[in-house]
Amino acid sequence: MAEKSTELIHGDLVKKDPTKLRLKPNLQNYEQLRKTFKWSDADKEVEWFPGGKLNAAYNVIDRHAKGSRKNKIALIFDDGEGHTQKLTFQQLYEMMNRFANVMKKLGIKRQDRVFFFLQRSPELYAGFLAAIKYGAIASPMFPAFGPDAIRDRLLDSGAVALVTDSDLKKRVYEVKNLLPELKHMIIVGKDVAAGEVSWEKEMAAASDKFDAVPMDPEEFMYMLYTSGTTGKPKGVVHAHKGIVQAHLTTKMVLDVHEEDVYWCGADLGWVTGVVYGVLGPWSNGTTQVGLGGRFDPDRWYKTIQDYKVSIWYTAPTAVRMLMARGDEIPAKYNLSSLRALYCVGEPLNPEGVKWAQEVFDNKPFHDTWWQTETGSILITNFPEMDIKPGSMGKPLPGIEAAIVDETGKVLGQGQEGNLALRPGWPAMMRQIWKNPAKYNECFRNGWYYTGDTAQIDKDGYFWYVGRADDVIKTSGERVGPFEVESALIEHPAVAEAGVIGKPDELRGNIIKAFIVLTPGYSDSPQLKEDIQKFVKTKLAGHAFPREIEIVKTLPKTRSGKIMRRLLRARELGLPIGDTSTLED
């Protein structure tokens, strides 16, 4: 590993020098905007139809295709196998319109559920937006899902149409007879059987003109199932109004400017891919990179270099994997186009922030916190704000966030408790599909309980502690797994760590760590002892792992989140629950 430089790190602070930023941030003064911000002002960021109607897809594509960005590149699509396609806003617009007309021909109705089971591709982007433009409820699924995960989602949602391809459809047919409501199978590719609809044929025959359906702001735009980290995935439903906030946060947080090339690594099968890989950036008229294929450090750095990516939005799991592969790989590429880095999905270990400073020439990661349910980034490190590595940052203007106890009492600075939000922002979920009880459960004492625990420091920065279910009670103290994991991965031998509480007669629980070693290290009692000692020097005495188990991989969701409930279930011999989103 290269020598660590700490140029910008002052103790626990990454200081921002506004004069050194390449572009002036769209949000100039966070504290001031917090005082004056009104959601009604944000409504002006999007275009409305008469009578207070709007259509999210119109705002994402049409307004640019009809305006000065008509010939601007909207999508640079690299399939990960050496083929690149560039599409302008006009081209995406026409493709989207054609598919909306195909849906019309098939007789799909307003607010019908239309699902997509496709590899990332222009067809996926255009199809998804067409369904929204048409007034259906659109939903993409991870292309890596197996038959059970597919069945769960299509059955629960009552999807009437599925767009898939010649290859992926095989997995759908394993469960197709269990899906009575699924009427239309639309197939991208050559292998189209009797009873199926050929994407190619229908698209070629369809008109490229289609007027967006004016929707009530509360009508549904898309639905997505949560990652399944803590249990069975929930079908979270979002309304067209959400586009207001997708737009606003992309502008204020991800800070897109006209000349930026933006890359969001998330698949459309999870909410980051939808909100910040489709809706928000294009609503702002931004050029986006879409990259297919699997994790591959060389290809990723090459993507940044070749397409001159200036803003990159990724996930902690990816950061940890890149870190583990060493700094020699990024050194081979010219990464100077980058100006801002963002992260979401899990807590971002401070080590990741520091690493990025070195590898990306003093550009730290900005952590962003949000959920499928919240529909938009809500707590974040803004571009103009100093970063405290390990902190999620501060709430968006217009968002009241607090740490509360079970009775709704607001806790003070430094006290750990439930991360809660005052309901009422435009991108908030409107329903959990067919599960009102689950939905209502989240709202208590006038707050939306996120299911996460956190605390706030004296400067108003929020610090993630863990999932409410993951917090460990040991020797009478509460310990968040994230804190222990972050200390662990600072040890050079540790690439990844998952930490759980293991019942213990004496201590209530002890902390057990599952560790993936950095390549080049091997298991030994000395190494484990050394790691334990290392953590002891970082954290309070009780917060070190009394047990360490070396594993080859950690169980993760397909969106890359460590599934601590599986580690716990295996350790304690408990039922493992829903594993439909478990990685291979």
CB-CB contact of 496 with 516 (8 Å): yes
DSSP for 167-193 reads TTHHHHHTTGGG-TT--EEEEESS---
235 touches ligand ATP by CB under 6 A = no
**235-239, strands of its sheet edge to edge:** 197-198, 184-188, 161-165, 113-117, 137-140, 220-225, 235-239, 431-432
Binder among 242, 265, 280, 345 for ligand ATP (CB under 6 A): 345
Residue 234: count of CB within 10 angstroms of its CB: 23
Binding at 374: pick from ligand ATP, Mg ion, none (beta carbon under 5-8 Å per type): none
Per CB under 5 A, which of residues 223..282 are in contact with Mg ion?
226
371 touches ligand ATP by CB under 6 A = yes
Please identify, using beta-carbon distances, which residue of 319 and 495 lies nearer to ligand ATP: 319
> What would the x/- binding string for ligand ATP be over residues 148 to 167, using CB under 6 A?
--------------------
Q: Are strands 547-550 and 508-517 parallel, antiparallel or unpaired?
A: parallel
Binding at 561: pick from Mg ion, ligand ATP, none (beta carbon under 5-8 Å per type): ligand ATP
Q: What is the CA radius of gyration of the chain?
A: 23
Please identify, using beta-carbon distances, which residue of 317 and 371 lies nearer to ligand ATP: 371
347 touches ligand ATP by CB under 6 A = yes
The tokens for 56 are 């999210």
H-state helical runs in 266-364? 271-274, 280-283, 297-306, 316-324, 328-331, 350-359
Count of residues in contact with Mg ion, rule CB under 5 A: 1
| Strand, coil or helix: 524 | coil
Binder among 231, 423, 492, 577 for ligand ATP (CB under 6 A): 231
Please identify, using beta-carbon distances, which residue of 28 and 440 lies nearer to ligand ATP: 440
Distance CA 298, CA 493 (A): 22
Please identify, using beta-carbon distances, which residue of 55 and 139 lies nearer to Mg ion: 139
Nearest to 467, CA basis, from 563, 381, 554, 391: 563
Binding at 297: pick from ligand ATP, Mg ion, none (beta carbon under 5-8 Å per type): none
141 touches ligand ATP by CB under 6 A = no
**547-550, strands of its sheet edge to edge:** 494-504, 508-517, 547-550
Please identify, using beta-carbon distances, which residue of 101 and 314 lies nearer to ligand ATP: 314
CB-CB contact of 483 with 456 (8 Å): no
Please identify, using beta-carbon distances, which residue of 171 and 564 lies nearer to Mg ion: 564
**Residue tagged 């208590």 (tokens):** 444
270 touches ligand ATP by CB under 6 A = yes
Distance CA 307, CA 322 (A): 19
Residue 540 CB, nearest distance to ligand ATP (Å)?
Answer: 21
CB-CB contact of 139 with 114 (8 Å): yes
Residue 106 CB, nearest distance to Mg ion (Å)?
Answer: 34
How many helices and strands, by DSSP H and E, does the chain display? 20, 29
Q: Helix, strand, coil proportions of the chain in percent (round to 5)?
A: 35, 25, 45
Binder among 175, 279, 311, 344 for ligand ATP (CB under 6 A): 344
561 touches ligand ATP by CB under 6 A = yes
The tokens for 169 are 């459809």
The tokens for 556 are 């993760």
Binder among 93, 301, 369, 449 for ligand ATP (CB under 6 A): 369
Residue 114 CB, nearest distance to Mg ion (Å)?
Answer: 24
273 touches ligand ATP by CB under 6 A = no
CB-CB contact of 389 with 347 (8 Å): no
Cα atoms in the Cβ-side hemisphere of radius 13 Å centred on 232: 11
Residue 379 CB, nearest distance to ligand ATP (Å)?
Answer: 8
Binder among 63, 467, 491, 564 for ligand ATP (CB under 6 A): 467
Those residues with Cβ within 8 angstroms of residue 536's Cβ, 6 or more apart along the chain or in another chain: 544
Binder among 119, 164, 229, 418 for ligand ATP (CB under 6 A): 229
228 touches ligand ATP by CB under 6 A = yes
Residue 439 CB, nearest distance to Mg ion (Å)?
Answer: 13
Question: CB nearest Mg ion: which residue?
Answer: 226
Please identify, using beta-carbon distances, which residue of 228 and 290 lies nearer to Mg ion: 228
Residue 230 CB, nearest distance to Mg ion (Å)?
Answer: 6
Distance CA 450, CA 367 (A): 17
Residue 348 CB, nearest distance to ligand ATP (Å)?
Answer: 6
Binder among 392, 510, 513, 550 for ligand ATP (CB under 6 A): 392
Please identify, using beta-carbon distances, which residue of 300 and 425 lies nearer to Mg ion: 425
Binding-site ranges for ligand ATP (CB under 6 A)? 226-231, 233, 270-271, 344-348, 367-369, 371-372, 392, 450-452, 464, 467, 559, 561
Residues forming contacts to Mg ion in the complex (CB under 5 A) are: 226
